[in-house]
Chains A and B, each alone.
Chain A
């Protein structure tokens, strides 16, 4: 979002450091990808799931082990402790290698992370390997330290990790900083729905508008705004649209019915959009538009305002 950062009331003050959830990575395809970093809450929930999974495995095995020990005692007359010994080895493996095994073999995901759509990747965008995973997970004992004296014995509180995450720009715990990894949230992929059925909207008369043509960006904002209009009430939609509608009407030197702009700005925007898209299809002159872009700041700012309100 590019919204109101430029209009700082006191330009002399240094710009505040923003805590951003976005991570930019340039891929070998020369495409810049934006990732969303995962914050403490989803990560704690994912941890809780992993903790439960390990807990269930261990409890199940300890029941099996006790039964075996009783069996040994009954048959051999002496509980050998062999089953408990194996249990301890499993415990050790789960404690220090559960995450390493998961993250190495499932490309940065453990069961809990998978459940919450999280993934560990290298901060430069490539996948993590065995050593990276081992480093970030062997450092867990320090991250897991909590700062209260009574600390819950069996559920590590990750106090150090929390502070580290808030102190670092990329929401990294200490293990992440050392291994240079980040945890990202992979959102579900949904193609934005088709905005409006263009055929049913009547374009404006050519005689009603002047020669001004807004930028692609402005048109895209109208397009997406109309596509999302079902999430707003009618009044709210018109109220949001009126800012841009009146600005556009002025720029376009709109000479038609002014009530359309005042009372039904959403409809006005839709009709402007249809008109301009239609006219664009008629004349494929893209250069003319880019040249006129310098004098459309007002409309663009209104568009940004609209984007800001929408998100």
Chain B
């Protein structure tokens, strides 16, 4: 069979496949009726076969690149990712996230020490020597914080300005962005992540020490204790995820750097996604619960319970799944 006869006899097949591919452009294959899916599958294999034939006989680059692109587009449409299922989301929250988190616990502890360490030290130093706060916070920032927290806890109008919904939006946008950037900067050999952790630790510590030295400890801790459980932990978690990326580049082990980054990155992104969800939860508490005119003692109780909840969740959730869910989940990602 020569080239012309071959092209002549195969052309209807190619045209039909071309039509199906163009029609599906961008859409999912499951939109087609059953018969056409069967046709598509058959035609795709035929086109692939024709491509191989043309390659092996050397029947010309134009024809080869035509069939190559036809097959390539067909391939991309044919193999699309499995649909996301709601049960997978539940699974991720109840066991996937804490499992991946615990599998990489040492990155978290490193970020934890950097963040809470700098926070604690700055807090202690500033509380004992209040004028030092000027080294960290600008005078008008100090004044703003002072005003924010010196309101009467029983008045409905909180000193925080703006309504609850506004503050919720603000916290979600601002705080979650900080966490994501803290993670992304891990790519800069960890310098960016460590900087973000220390910067936020020092700023929060200084604010805490300053306000408590002013005698506003009830208002401040009452405000912070509940959402702080999710928020402060989530910053350390996202920092840990960022450090996973850095360590993949610095200590790739037996793998190449790129390969190490890919493998570690797949776990880091899951940890980061969990941290982002924690941040959003924190934002809701921070906007509605924390400034609410409720007795401080009650807030202390709820806040303490929240800390216990976060710690229990991260430490224990998903432990009863003895079947190594983590492995299977990562395996699926690799093979998807």
Contact = CB atoms under 8 A, between A and B. Distances in A.
A88 B171 CA distance: 9
Nearest to B261: A178
Contacts of B265: 135, 178-179
A140 B185 CA distance: 10
A138 B52 contact: no
A244 B22 CA distance: 39
A30 B51 CA distance: 11
B169 A86 contact: yes
- 9 cross-chain pairs, A with B, having the tightest CB-CB distances, nearest first: A81-B166, A88-B169, A85-B169, A220-B60, A217-B58, A82-B165, A85-B166, A85-B165, A192-B62
A35 interface: yes
Interface stretch (B74-82, B115-123, B142-150, B296-304): B74-82
B172 A142 contact: no
Contacts of A29: 44-45, 48-49
A127 B79 contact: yes
A92 B177 contact: yes
B241 to A, nearest CB: 9
A187 interface: yes
Q: Give the dominant DSSP class at B's interface.
A: helix
B187 A224 contact: no
Interface string B312-336: 0000000000000000000001001
B84 A81 contact: no
B305 interface: no
B169 A220 contact: no
Interface in B267-324: 268-270, 272-273
Interface string A90-102: 0110011000000
Given A34-B68, A127-B76, A129-B81, A84 B169 contact: yes
Nearest to A28: B79
Interface in A216-267: 216-217, 219-221, 223-224, 227-228
B180 A223 contact: no
Contact of A31 (B2, B3, B14, B52): B52
B135 interface: no
Interface string B12-48: 0011001001100010100000000000000011001
A142 B187 contact: yes
B45 to A, nearest CB: 6
B106 interface: no
Given A107-B26, A224-B61, 11 more contacts: A81-B166, A82-B163, A107-B77, A127-B76, A131-B266, A135-B268, A139-B184, A140-B184, A189-B73, A191-B11, A220-B63
A189 B63 CA distance: 11
Contact of A33 (B75, B177, B336): B75
Interface centre among B2, B60, B170 (most CB of A within 10 A): B60
Contact of B167 (A27, A34, A85, A174): A85
A178 B268 CA distance: 10
28 contacts: A27-B75, A29-B45, A31-B51, A33-B72, A81-B167, A85-B162, A85-B164, A88-B170, A89-B172, A89-B173, A91-B173, A92-B169, A107-B26, A107-B76, A125-B79, A131-B269, A135-B265, A135-B268, A140-B184, A142-B188, A142-B192, A177-B261, A179-B265, A189-B70, A191-B11, A191-B14, A192-B63, A215-B58
A190 interface: yes
Q: Which of A139, A219, A223 has the most CB atoms of chain B within a 10 A radius of its CB?
A: A139
A96 B180 contact: yes
Interface size class of B (residues with CB under 8 A): 35 or more
Given A142-B184, A224-B62, A80 B166 contact: yes
A272 interface: no
A80 B188 contact: no
B14 A174 contact: no
Contacts of A126: 79, 336
Contacts of B168: 85, 89
B229 interface: no
Nearest to A164: B187
B155 interface: no
B262 interface: yes
A135 B81 contact: no
A121 interface: yes
Instruction: Report which residue of A29, A82, A126, A217 has the largest number of chain B beta carbons within 10 angstroms of its beta carbon.
Output: A29
A147 B44 CA distance: 46
Nearest to B185: A142
A96 B183 CA distance: 13
Contact of B80 (A127, A138, A189, A191): A127
B262 to A, nearest CB: 5
A295 interface: no
Contacts of B166: 80-82, 84-85, 88
Interface string A133-160: 0110011111000000000000000000
A178 B15 CA distance: 38
B81 A104 contact: yes
A192 B14 CA distance: 12
A166 interface: no
B173 A141 contact: no
Given A31-B48, A129-B81, A92 B26 contact: no
Given A135-B266, A138-B272, A227-B62, A129 B172 contact: no
A92 B163 CA distance: 19
Contact of A138 (B21, B76, B164, B269): B269
Interface in A154-199: 174, 177-180, 186-187, 189-192, 198
